[in-house]
Structure 1
Amino acid sequence: MAKGTSPALRKFSASNGDSRRAPGIRNPKTELEAAIQRFVDLYDFAPIGYVSFDRAGRIEEANLAATELLGERRDLLIGRPFAFYVGDLDSFMRHLLYCRTSQQQVETELQLKPRNGKQIPALLCSRPITSTTRNGALLYQTAIMDLSERKRAEEALRAKEAELEAIINRTPFMLTRCSDDLRYRLVSRAYARMLGRTPEEIAGKPIIEIMGEEGLKAISPHIEKVLRGRTAEFETDVSFRSVGAPCLHCVYTPDRDSKGNVIGWFASIIDITRRKRAEAALQKSKKLLEERVRERTHELRVANKELEGEIARRKGLEGEILEISDREQQRLGQELHDGLCQHLTAVAFMARSVALRLKNHRVIEVNDIEKIAQLVNDAATDMRNLS
């Protein structure tokens, strides 16, 4: 140390040259190693598989998740071509080519072929890096994401969508799904058939383009109601361009997103035009029947009055007939009394006369006996005539 140096500076220089460090002074080498170890641990124990391969596609680095995904020990993976574990070689070669010609992240979906032979759908996300452990060599650090769960979910979703589409297309009811900006998102074949179109021609179109202003005006109050989150049910004549105005029974149900916000509505629609026509025809028939019933009732009342009059007249005639019959009976009785009694009196008188003559032993005149017989015969004839 040169002369003139202050004692404090000399003390500092002496302490700085001592191999022992004072308490509280950090060791950069130790911290760097710890940071590197933390990075290695994060890399090794990451839940996503990571590999780094060179321009030729040989694996230079791999974490534990990658070894588990590929079904191979790390010491066997290092130095082996990644293509060895790819089921779709063309896709991987295109991926490697894009990595060589681009400085951006390259993503490719392909099929991995682990050692167990069961292919796995995966997504490769590669980004170029400069390796400090490989003397600055260019490597492509690649995240390998297992898409099995996502593919299964997508397949299940496609199956559900196909099932829903089959239900929508086969149901006799008309179904639509509309957005809050008044556009068709989905329509059933039955709905499209009513309009003389295909579902593809209607989906995505504004409602006003399909229905026209008059038709949209007819359903606007119900759209406002369903967009406020309430179910709307109604029957009305709805006008469509080039179709007319069929009478429809509609039920609008709010369509909500995952947060519960109304983003549109579902519509279940039934064409009730024929039913309404039948109801109108029935109502007309009912009214006509009521008129006919009223007319018939009036006719029956008139006929009833006429019948009552006829009954009254016949009752009068019956009384007259009974009265005439009584008088006739009286006349007959009187005639019987006058005529028959006279004959019987004459018979009795003649018989008395004959009896007196016989008593006196006098001769009986034949004429007297014939006279009695004649009177009896006349009485019998009068009785037959009267009867």
Structure 2
Amino acid sequence: GDGGSCGMVITFRNLTEKRLAADAPAGSRDFYLKALDESPTLIWRSGHNGRCDYFNNTWLRFTGRHLDQELGDGWLENLHPDDVSRSNEIHGNAVRKRQPFEMEFRLRRYDGKYRWILCSGRPFDELDGGFGGFVCSGHDITERRLVEDSLRQGEKRFRDLYEQAPLGCHSLDSEGRIVAVNKSWLNLFGYAREEVIGRDFSEFVSPGTRLGLDEHPQWLNTLNELQGIELEILCKDQSRVSVAVYGVVIRDGQGRLKLVNCILQNITEHRRDKEALRESEERFRSAFHHAAVGMALVSPEGRFLQVNRSLCEMLGYSEQELFHLPWRAIADSRERDVDRDYFQRLLDGEAQAKKAEHRCLHKSGSEVWVQMSSSLLRDSDGHPLYFVSQFQSINERMQAEQDRALLATAAEQSVESIVMIDCDGIIRYANFAFEQIHGCRREDAIGQHFRVFLGDDSAEPLYLALWESLSRGETWHGNISDKNRQGQARELTTSISPIRDPAGKVIHYVITQRDVTQERLMERQLRQAQKMEA
């Protein structure tokens, strides 16, 4: 209007993706939608307002619910009540901030059980560039959570056991510095934890018993374990406590010293009594450490005083677990009265030593057969001190006996005749079916030559041929035609196989026979009928 120049403002908007989406074949969208529906992963979608508008078939099958039950906020009904508020908050914050999120929650499965789900959500945009909502996927991580919980519980139990152990415990690093101690260690020597951590262990050892501890790492590098090394520890009040140190040296993959875990046993009183020390050394050295069988010292009241590694492995318990268990806890309930009488006879002096087979209980609950030998050690006045017991596993022998019994039962109940002969052809065993087939009592057959049951003299060539085959260590198969004790013709399918000892030498033969007379008769009748029809 004032005579100045005029013009136009032109804006452009990229509609390529929108046009491509609109032009995309319906079949292509259907393909991808079906792929999402049948994905093995739980997939769902929430809109820009946070309300869910899609769940795939995998989700619906997992929860056992219909789509209309899940839409909107309905899916929250499947969550564990303790997880609803937290999950809703995480999802809501992600929607407001339009940022990816991840969370874990318990989702109720179709069978009513809750399963842990790891949910990952990613925002997506509409074709026009606006915020569309979130596409979420979920994976069942229940087993992983169970493993993690188990590991955490195991670590806590180990920490509690270490901290509450009645014996002093400490751990040393590769330089011999104390990196951990438990309450018993601190109480025994009178220090506070902060006065100990980080200091060299040799600083607490009396000079007269250091045994080269001034070069502690080099000294430890020569050992794989510490077995009852006696030291004197300087307490905070300048008193001294004699201890026996038991430790395990832990090394890395290259064999370098990494950590030393030690248990310190207060032996001050024991050192004042040489006889008690000798007895203690004898327990560890003779009765336990060099024994390949399980060994235990059991008090007259039936509690374990000492156990060795072989017994722990045999029963599945640690030493500390067995120390807190009475004998009756590992004895099979069917054996407890027998076991009580077993030990009582030793206490009453009726026997100096006893040996018996017992059923014990493994920690897993399985049955462990052992041969137990026990004797009672008494003091100089004749009072009982403890039982010295040895345990030798006889599981394999008992299993072999059960297997043999089962095999014998199977042989007795077999519908086929089973006969065992020695290398001279003499019958040593025959089952019940033998009597039915041959019409001869097995008591009468045992001790006879098996040739008697291979037909008349006309079968002699057959006998010689099969025996020649057996002499070569081969298995013989064939049909034998003869007559039974009633003079009736019959045909027996027969197999004779060698039985070898562990060295491969033939020691017996087993003969199995089945009466196929009727089968062969029917076959001949069928062939005759077929000829007549032809």
TM-score of the superposition, structure 1-length normalised? 0.45
More helix by share: 1
* Higher RCO (CA < 8 A, seq sep 6+): 1
Q: Which of 1 and 2 has greater Rg?
A: 1
TM-score of the superposition, structure 2-length normalised? 0.35
